[in-house]
Structure 1
Amino acid sequence: MFSLQTMFGQGNQFYDLLEQSAVAAHDSTRALHEMLKGDQREPALDAFKLARQRERDASEKISQELVDSFITPIEREDIEALSSALHKINKQAEKFADRYTLAVQHLEHIDFAPRAAMLEQAASVVVKMVKQLRKIKLGPMKALNDELRSIENEADRLMLELYREIYSGDLEPLQMFLLKEFFEILEKAIDRCREAGVVAYDIVLKNS
């Protein structure tokens, strides 16, 4: 059932829900970083599950609002694309944590924390970009987009260092496999942040 507020209002509920999704994605990356930089490095999945549930709730509400709302503040396709991109950030962080739980005994001497820190940083920038959508100002959004691109470039550089380590001959085959798999999950998570940033930036470009 349509409400007059939804039909003729500004559609601020979409901004609220997208921001909630972005914050939940950032929270999951922060939980991952905290887990990996801790002394005991024992996987604790509660924080990931909670963040994922919050993101899922926001995503479902966005879908319902798109059905119920007569007017949206930005194009429906853009809302759907951004919601999907934010969902994938959360999904990658949880995927890493779930698999790390199974393989932690083989990874005691591998330090994932620096890459996880970059992922958290990238997700933090995405939160800022999503919050900028209310203002539709190109200058601040471009600066954030440049910052996110810089993080992605640095992550790519670290990946090259990783491959040198993998093929150094100093690792056991299982360690080589796991190291490559886990770092690629982190790399993909940063890529998902970049994708969300691109969607947010494109929204501002189209509407400024």
Structure 2
Amino acid sequence: MFSLQTIFGKGNQFFGLLEEAATAAADSTTALYRMLLERDQPPALDAFRLARQRERAIADQINEELVNSFVTALDREDIEALNSALVRIPKQVERFAERYALATQLLDGIDFAPRAAMLAQAATVVAEMVRQLRRMKLEEMKHLNDRLRSIESEADRLMLELYRDIYAGHFDGQQMFLIKEFFEILEKAIDRCREAGLVAYQIVLKNS
């Protein structure tokens, strides 16, 4: 006979899987930041493809566990929402890296690293928020959510500076188009981090 503790102890694997997914997303952003710091080296894409494969494999495992598990540690819709949000982060990072590798010669002198550093910071905060789901401490999660929101606000400010430089005519037409596209991809990646963090925050709000 199964005890209630045995039954309700199941489903805790989702914490570990979501933590792995958040870590994979954060690792992809760190790899991007390092790539952009090493502008004298040819861009290497293996790290981003591996991160995406890792993320997809974890997402598939989460979906499989949802089908096979009678009891889950979190509401199923919350697991699905957070899983979906985390998958989108390395997707945007890989998109940037692949396009950047094709356009490096046209972007000489353009430094994307400061914005990529902010993306890496945001993804690191998201990973910590996902780890905090085991504890369900509202104050700690609120502090992390405020940090993530602050990073997003600073990223928005930097985007306004970028548009100011574009409209001031500091770049030629081709560069202007490419710079705008690349910064918008980075902005969208930060937005994906914000979305994932918001899902994690709302989970704690609901369960605290």
- 1:6–1:69 Cα contact (<8 Å) kept: no
- 1:141–1:201 Cα contact (<8 Å) kept: yes
Letter in 2 for 1:102: L
**Deviation of the 1:51 alpha carbon:** 1.1
- 1:7–1:69 Cα contact (<8 Å) kept: no
**Deviation of the 1:102 alpha carbon:** 1.1
Deviates further, 15-24 or 43-52: 43-52
| Cα deviation 1:62-117 (Å, max 9, x = unaligned) | 00000000001111111001001100011000000011011111011100000000
Match of 1:20 in 2: 20
Letter in 2 for 1:172: D
Say which SS state the counterpart of residue 133 (structure 1) adopts: helix
Tell me, in whole angstroms, the C-alpha distance in 2 between the residues paired with 1:66 and 1:204: 20
Tell me, in whole angstroms, the C-alpha distance in 2 between the residues paired with 1:163 and 1:77: 38
Match of 1:206 in 2: 206
Match of 1:130 in 2: 130
Say which SS state the counterpart of residue 134 (structure 2) adopts: coil
Q: Equivalent residues in 2 for 1:41-190 (5 A)?
A: 41-190=41-190
Tell me, in whole angstroms, the C-alpha distance in 2 between the residues paired with 1:59 and 1:133: 18
- 1:86–1:196 Cα contact (<8 Å) kept: yes
- 1:129–1:200 Cα contact (<8 Å) kept: yes
Tell me, in whole angstroms, the C-alpha distance in 2 between the residues paired with 1:6 and 1:196: 30
Tell me, in whole angstroms, the C-alpha distance in 2 between the residues paired with 1:99 and 1:41: 16
Consecutive unaligned residues of structure 2, counting only runs of 5 or more, are none
Consecutive unaligned residues of structure 1, counting only runs of 5 or more, are none
Residues 165 and 80 of structure 1: is their aligned pair in 2 closer, same or farther, counting only changes over 3 Å? same
Q: Report percent identity of matched pairs.
A: 69
Tell me, in whole angstroms, the C-alpha distance in 2 between the residues paired with 1:24 and 1:163: 31
**Deviation of the 1:170 alpha carbon:** 2.4
**Deviation of the 1:42 alpha carbon:** 2.1
- 1:123–1:193 Cα contact (<8 Å) kept: yes
How much is the aligned-residue C-alpha RMSD, in angstroms? 1.4
> Stretches of 4+ moved more than 6 A in 1?
none
| Cα deviation 1:160-181 (Å, max 9, x = unaligned) | 0000111111211100000000
Equivalenced residue count is: 205
Letter in 2 for 1:162: L
Q: What TM-score do you get using the length of structure 2 for normalisation? A: 0.95
Residues 167 and 143 of structure 1: is their aligned pair in 2 closer, same or farther, counting only changes over 3 Å? same
- 1:133–1:200 Cα contact (<8 Å) kept: yes
**Deviation of the 1:49 alpha carbon:** 1.2
Letter in 2 for 1:11: G
Deviates further, 34-43 or 71-80: 34-43
Tell me, in whole angstroms, the C-alpha distance in 2 between the residues paired with 1:173 and 1:35: 25
